[in-house]
Structure formats: structure tokens, C-alpha cells
Structure 1
């Protein structure tokens, strides 16, 4: 598996963090980035910062060249920020419940 593909457990964690906003079909890494950016744009304050940090780390993972930090490490950090934002600041903006 290349560093630019998303492992199923990683995509599952993103789906959990973002709630029902994402479909049950694992999205592409680029789609996840779009979702993180949309969540960032739809919030303010600390929530916006957390979604923004998630998006920045996810984007860095997409562009990782195999050095350190690796794409997998950057995706893990992005997930931590997304999970924190979802847990501490409520639903993702625009989420369908």
C-alpha cells in the first residue's frame, strides 16, 4: 500500500469523527481534505482552528514524499484534530443527522 492511499481503519476513524457527513463508502483522500476544509470554513474560533489543523495535516500527508513525518503519521495527527473538534465542538457543520 502506498503512503498516499488511505487504510480502511483510517477512513473509518475519519468517518466516525465527521459523523454521517461522509457516506458509508470510503472517500478518496482528496474528498476527506475537501470535507475537512468545509468543516473549517463552517466554524469559528477554536473549532475552526482544530478543523484547520486537521486539514493542514491531511494535506501534508497527501504531499508526503516518504521522509519524516510520514504520510501515515500526518494522517494520524489529522484524525486526532478532527476527533477533538468533533468531540469538543459538536457536529460537523452541514452534517445530516
Structure 2
């Protein structure tokens, strides 16, 4: 997969606006921060770019696993985790 910033350079796109949505927002913001002079505008819809936007109860198990992956932090090992309703626990 070729990163977006390589594609825009290959296509000789000097300046552009882009639309970002939901979990793609941080990707779009990283792209904008990489070379802000090339960005003419940003359109965002329901994009989350800050930790305050992640509800603590739902996301805490996932963040714990991302920080230290292993059996102890696997989100569905804790059956009280709201993530277990989304993905069944491993057998």
C-alpha cells in the first residue's frame, strides 16, 4: 500500500483539500501536519482527534491492550468489559 502523501507527490498535486470522517480524522490530521502548506482546506465529519472524545468505560480496555498487549490486557478476558458485547471472548 502506498501512503497518501506519496500518491499526491507522484500525481504532482501541489495543493489540495480533503474530507475526513470518524476514525480517519487522525490520519487526515497527520497528513495535514506533514506538509501544511499543501492543504487548502479540511472538511471533517464526526472526526475525533482528541482523547477526551473517547468514552472512558468503553475504550479503557482497548487502550490498556494497545499499551501492553497480552493475555492479561485482552479486552474480552474481562466479561464486564463493554467490548465483550462487540467481540466474543476467545474459547
Q: What TM-score, normalized by structure 2, do the two folds share?
A: 0.27
The structure richer in strand per residue is: 2
The structure having more radius of gyration, on CA atoms, is 2
Relative contact order (C-alpha < 8 Å, sep 6+): which is higher? 1
